[in-house]
Structure 1
Amino acid sequence: MNRATKIFFKQSNSKQPLTKTEFNIAKWFIYDNSLTCVATCDPAKQRIYKIQDQLYLNIFPGFLHQLRPLADFSANIHQAIKIIFTHIWDV
């Protein structure tokens, strides 16, 4: 028996006998469910989207922190950030 094939028995109701069912996962992936998605990472896109008949799976996990307005931060934080951005600009 192929490793990818599993055999199980299921019963539709109590009066009927068990029916033997085979499931081949390799056949399922290759023939029955051959849907292919291209992995992308775009924070502006939905989780799954389609462009010209091609499906894309967005693997962007989301931002670590939620954006807040600058007015929510104290003057000390504004000064510290200004020093960091000045350094980045100079370098």
Structure 2
Amino acid sequence: MNTTFEPVSAVVGSRFVAHTEHGPVELVLTEATERERGHLPEQFRTPFSLLFHGPDEPRLSQDTYTLDHPELGRVQWMLVPVMPDTRAPNVPRYEALFG
């Protein structure tokens, strides 16, 4: 699947299952944000980021994970742990960037 913003942003709030060395881990897509295009030529997609919340354990490290979603199917995305939200400091967060 060539990941684009529109279909992914339509499933914000839904659950993904990440296949990890610890077994399946459920992640919730909490945000999808388009970034500024800057000087990108038109043939390139608009950059965007996805923000996921995960369980307290296991904590995932930066890696490329296979994720399953009922509408999007199976995808492989790099997830990077990011700083916790000050409103929920114990909730692990992960970001995927698409340029």
TM-score by length of 2: 0.21
- For CA contacts below 8 A with separation 6 or more, give which structure has more relative contact order: 2
More helix by percentage: 1
User: Which structure's CA Rg is the greater one?
Assistant: 1
Task: Answer 1 or 2: which has greater strand percent.
Answer: 2
